[in-house]
Every structure is written in C-alpha cells, then in structure tokens.
Amino acid sequence: MAFKIILKNSWLFFLGCLIATALEIIFFSPISPDLIELPLASSVSVDSPPNNQLQRVTKLGEGLLKGPEDVAVDENGILYTATRDGWIRKLHKNGSWENWKKQESQGLLGITTAKGGGLIGLLKFTEDGVTVLGSEIRFADDVIEASDGSIYFSVASTKFSFHNWYLDLLEAKPHGQLLKYDPSMEETSIVLDGLYFANGVALSKDEDYLVVCETFRFRCLKYWLKGESKGETEIFIENLPAAPDNINLAPDGSFWIALIQVIYEGTEFVHTSKVLKQIIANFPKLINYINGATKRAAVINVGANGNILKRFGDPNGTVMSFVTSALEFDDHLYLGSLNTDFVGKLPLK
C-alpha cells in the first residue's frame, strides 16, 4: 500500500516537473520564434565540386589573434583586424604585428579602411582619435565607406547582442537594419529596416549600388544608390548553400562572400519547429548540436550579375572553420574567422 502511494506521488512529482518545465520554456522563453525558410534542395552544394583550397592557407599572426572576424587592407598594404580581446591589430609589410587600438567591447566585428586614413568599425579610428557613428546600437556588423564620405553599416539585430546571436537565429525574425552615417551632418539614419540578420555590406565598383547580406535568409540584397532604380531593393543572390557573412568587393568588380554553416546537416528539422527552438533557447548549450559553423569553412566569388564564379572550402574544418570574411588584395585572399587564432592567406594565382 505504502509502496503504491510513493509510486503515485513520484509520478505526480514527475508530472509536475514536466508541466513546470513546459510552462517555463513557453512563457519565459527569451525568444518568440518564427520558422526559417531553408535554402531549396536544388541549390548548389557548398562542397560541389569538392575542394579543400582553404586548407592551403598560410597562417598570419597565429596564436595572437582571437577570432579575427573581419580583415581590411589599406592602400599601403597594411592589414587590420579586430579581435575578441578588444584589440585592433595591424600587420605591417615587414611582417610585424602592432597592437594599434584597444576598445572596451569584444564585439567589434566588421571593419573597413577609411579613405582619409584610419579604420572604421562602429567607431571611426584615426591616429588622432575616435568618432562614434551611432549610439545605442546593440549589434553592429559590417561597414563600408563611400567616396562621398557616407558610411553604410549593418545592424545584425536590434533585439539580441553579439554574445547571444544564436537567439536571433532561433527567433528568425527580421531584427536587422542597414544604416547610413552622414559625416557632414554627424547623423545616422535607417536605409533598410526589417532585414534578417543584416551582415556583410559592400559597395559595387562604380558605387551605383550596395549589397547587404541577410545571413538567416541565405541571400544578399542589392540596394540601388544611383540611376533610375535609386532607392529600390532587389535580390542580388539567393538560395545560397550556407549563410552569408561578410562580403567584399574584389578588384575586378566581383564579390567575395564568406558562407557559414549555421545549420548542421541532419538538424534542419529544428528550424521547422517553434517548440524545439524554444527548448534550445532555454538550454543554450544545445545550440552546439545544431550549429555547424565550427565544422567547416566556405567562401564564394560572385560576379556582379549574381552568378557564382569560384568556391573555396575546408569541408571538414581541418585548417579553417567559421570563416566570416574573405578579402582580395594583391592576388591573395585574406580570410577572417570567429573560430581561429590567425588570419588565413591564400594565393589566388
């Protein structure tokens, strides 16, 4: 009899815990998720044709650079990168590294060299000091400067920060923006709102349009700055085989786009279930089981017409993984990553 009561109470306790956990997950979840539109099955594979070109990189600054997400090279051939310890470091042409500027945040991601000298992230750094481009920006991502001095930059999410970016992935709502800083007015305005994790930003060779990548939509948009379509937005490339991160203009007018594997093979089903997303948002360590970013690397070269021209990869992440940036300079490709302690350098000829 007593055994039966204990058994019954145990079941009640178990049931109570189960209901409490379900209520916690649904009502106190940090996200209110939408479902992700995954790339169509017909899309080209990121590994097709298979290649492991990114395993051939020379490692620059190995051990010194923690998560160098983006790279920039100035006209004198000096390479810059911002790392997760808050340093912006310079690689001089003689091969020596300089700890150039230190900032409080560890979340400075995209950078670009400034036309008048110096470097632009969410802050503009010059030898003389620092200019703030926008206040109360939670999660700035990539940035580019036009020749008229306007600075365009992406905000990946207005809801989540760099440190919980995966919540934005799980929520899958358009919290991203493209902003413009006008240096003459010292004002920042919204160019595009409602973007899905706005990430890489690049200007075309003639600066008649810019491309902004929407990571969790597996596509990049073209926004016209000049001509009869000025102010209009259209698709530049869509249905990408992985999620686009930073984008850089190449000297020939094409673009290099880094692709991250935000959805691991076999775990696609997570993004078709709101309940599963809420469970993962409550138990963040589970994200490691569905995020394939650290398992491989891929970059593509896309023509101005939106066609893929070249692709380089490290299909099992042996040397490079989570490559977030590819920049062409002087017949070499410089590769940034959130999962390496070096910048990769790959000869293109």
Q: Of 168 and 245, which CB lies nearer to Ca ion in the complex structure? A: 245
328 binds Ca ion (CB under 5 A): no
Strand partners, 220: 213, 237
Residue 113 binds Ca ion, judged by CB under 5 A: no
Q: Is 214 in the site for Ca ion (CB under 5 A)?
A: no
Closer residue to Ca ion in complex, CB, 169/279? 169
Element (H, E) at 312: strand 308-314
* The dihedral formed by the CA atoms of 77, 209, 242 and 179, expressed in degrees to the nearest 10: 90
- Answer yes or no whether residue 141 interacts with Ca ion by CB under 5 A: yes
Instruction: Give yes or no for residue 168 binding Ca ion (CB under 5 A).
Output: no
H helices, E strands: number in the chain: 4, 24
> Binding of Ca ion at residue 171 (CB under 5 A)?
no
Shortest distance in whole angstroms from residue 207 CB to Ca ion: 16
244 binds Ca ion (CB under 5 A): no
The DSSP output letter for 280 is H
The answer to the question of residue 278 lying near Ca ion (CB under 5 A) is no
With binding defined as CB under 5 A, does residue 176 bind Ca ion? no
CA–CA distance from 218 to each of 94, 176, 229, 329 (Å)? 39, 14, 24, 26
Report in angstroms how near the CB of residue 165 gets to Ca ion at its nearest. Answer: 10
* Closest CB 22 distance from Ca ion, rounded Å: 36
> Which residue of this chain has its Cβ atom nearest to Ca ion in the complex?
110
| Shorter beta-carbon distance to Ca ion: residue 87 or 197 | 197
Binding piece for Ca ion, criterion CB under 5 A, among 45-53, 140-148, 256-264, 299-307? 140-148
Asked if 151 contacts 183 with a C-beta cutoff of 8 angstroms, the reply is yes
What's 317's DSSP letter? -
| Among 67, 68, 110, 336, interactor with Ca ion by CB under 5 A | 110
Binding residue (CB under 5 A) for Ca ion from 157, 164, 246, 254: 246
Q: Does the footprint of Ca ion cover residue 245 (CB under 5 A)? A: yes
Stated length of the chain: 349
* Of the candidate residues 29, 36, 70, 125, the single one contacting Ca ion (CB under 5 A): 70
- Rank residues 68 and 292 by Cβ distance to Ca ion and give the closer one: 68
Question: Dihedrals φ, ψ of 55, to 5°?
Answer: -80, -5
* Letter string b/e over residues 76-104, b meaning 16 or more CB atoms within 10 A of that residue's CB: eebbbbbbbeebbbbbeeeeebeebbebe
Q: Which residues pair with 237 in a beta bridge?
A: 220
If you write DSSP's letter for every residue of 171-215 in order, what string do you get? Answer: H----EEEEEEETTTTEEEEEEEEESSEEEEEE-TTSSEEEEEEG
Nearest residue (CB) to Ca ion, 199 versus 254:
199
For the CB of residue 201, give the shortest distance to Ca ion in the complex, in Å: 7
Nearer to Ca ion by Cβ, of 67 and 241: the residue is 67
- Interface contacts to Ca ion, rule CB under 5 A: 70, 109-110, 112, 141-142, 199, 245-246
